[in-house]
Amino acid sequence: MSKRYRDTASLIAELQPDAPLNCLCIERLREHVEGFVKGFPGTVAYAVKANPAEEMLAAVCEAGISAFDVASLYEISLLRKIKPDALLLYDNPVKARHEIDAAYREYAVRNFALDDARELQKIHEVIGSDSTVELAVRFNVGNSSAIYDLGKKFGTNSKTAAELLGQVARLGYRPALTFHPGSQCTRADAYNEHIAAAARIAAEAGATIDSLNVGGGFPTVYPNSGAPTIQQFFSEIEQQFLQSFPAGNVELRCEPGRALVDPSVSVLTRVKHRRELAVVFLNDGIYGSFMEQLLSRVELPTRVFRGGEPLQGPEELFTVFGPTCDSLDVFSYEVPLPTAIAEGDWIEFGEMGGYGSCSSTRFNGFETGDYVFVENGFVY
């Protein structure tokens, strides 16, 4: 069981940690989960890929989530252990035959996504006919203004989606539709365009869908990115959904990752070295907890501690290097830090719950941190 601390300052005072640490604030997580569950007009599934740490999954379950978007057999087995009766949406559109087989037979998964005819054929050949199985056709209708345009990899166009949906229904499965507007999507109308398209696709296929999954993509508010509030996203989605599916016989789902877990985790790093100029080397970097930072170029909220006390005073922009010997291991932006920062100080980065610890590597032998619990997490 990970240890619990009152806040980051008392954690530092007690532990003086040399290795990076993930600080998970259960109270903040609960607040965010409640915000989604109460505000979203349908079922909220957690996208496990954003953070599969067992501490996080246990906390997400405890906060009231019982549906999960899973992308691999590893994630499926993890969930079946932690919450055996969870609704698992196997929404990775491309799966190997052995993965479909194990998901269906060993783990009793009954919800799968696909986006082409070969995947549908594979699923049909592996599991045969089963009217309890829901197959969600993933489609994509355009640009979302998200940081990651997942449409480059997944999601078919409306015409093919309608053909696939018709085949799904004819094969006796429960037809469904799904999309993902791209991660860190800052435009609520990207969801609306897709919801309206879903209604057209279902009509063209002549199929009544069981569910529409609007994916994840809900944005985190980083210091360099503004976005409408989550409530604005929810009310626009609700309006469009009621307009597009007025009969009330379609279950609405979403599967957020980043926005659900980001605010509940901060990563506490330590300064290994300060050069004379505004340059610091940390014990964690791009090959560790901050891979996403390099890819997405989001800027992270930051605060600095010396001993158990916050370090304040005039700031300047620093080049921040990670611990490996690779020159790519550098933050994509210059980080504002106190001019006085020195070897041995700690830098805490907020909004790190999603795509932080899960995408870290052991490159050069450096490992990212364990999880500890803090009662008062980093709010910026």
Ligand X SMILES: Cc1ncc(COP(=O)(O)O)c(C=O)c1O
Q: Which of 175, 216, 285, 323 binds ligand X (CB under 6 A)?
A: 216
Beta strands (DSSP E) in 71-217 are: 87-90, 111-114, 134-138, 174-178, 211-213
Contact assessment for residue 15 and residue 38, using Cβ atoms and an 8 Å cutoff: no
Shortest CB 148 distance to ligand X, Å = 7
Task: From residue 55, give the alpha-carbon distance in Å to each of 51, 52, 85, 162, 266.
Answer: 10, 8, 19, 40, 14
Shortest CB 91 distance to ligand X, Å = 4
Burial class of 128 by CB neighbour count within 10 A (0 to 12, 13 to 18, 19+): exposed
Query: Which DSSP state fits 308?
Result: T
Determine, following the binding rule CB under 6 A, whether residue 180 of this chain makes contact with ligand X. Answer: yes
Shortest CB 343 distance to ligand X, Å = 35
**22 is written with which tokens?**
């993930």
Determine, following the binding rule CB under 6 A, whether residue 70 of this chain makes contact with ligand X. Answer: no
Determine, following the binding rule CB under 6 A, whether residue 258 of this chain makes contact with ligand X. Answer: yes
Which residues between 48 and 67 bind ligand X (CB under 6 A)? 49-50
Determine, following the binding rule CB under 6 A, whether residue 183 of this chain makes contact with ligand X. Answer: yes
Shortest CB 48 distance to ligand X, Å = 9
Gap between the Cα atoms of 297 and 166, Å rounded: 41
Q: Which residue is nearest to ligand X (CB)?
A: 216
Which residues between 85 and 124 bind ligand X (CB under 6 A)? 91
Determine, following the binding rule CB under 6 A, whether residue 69 of this chain makes contact with ligand X. Answer: yes
Determine, following the binding rule CB under 6 A, whether residue 255 of this chain makes contact with ligand X. Answer: yes
Q: How many CB atoms lie within 10 A of CB 141?
A: 20
Determine, following the binding rule CB under 6 A, whether residue 32 of this chain makes contact with ligand X. Answer: no
Shortest CB 260 distance to ligand X, Å = 7
The number of residues that bind ligand X (CB under 6 A) is 18
Shortest CB 180 distance to ligand X, Å = 5
Q: If you count them, how many residues does the chain have?
A: 380
188 contacts: CB under 8 Å, gap ≥ 6: 228, 232, 233, 236, 237
Which residues bind to ligand X, rule: CB under 6 A?
Answer: 47, 49-50, 69, 91, 150, 180, 183, 215-218, 255-259, 354
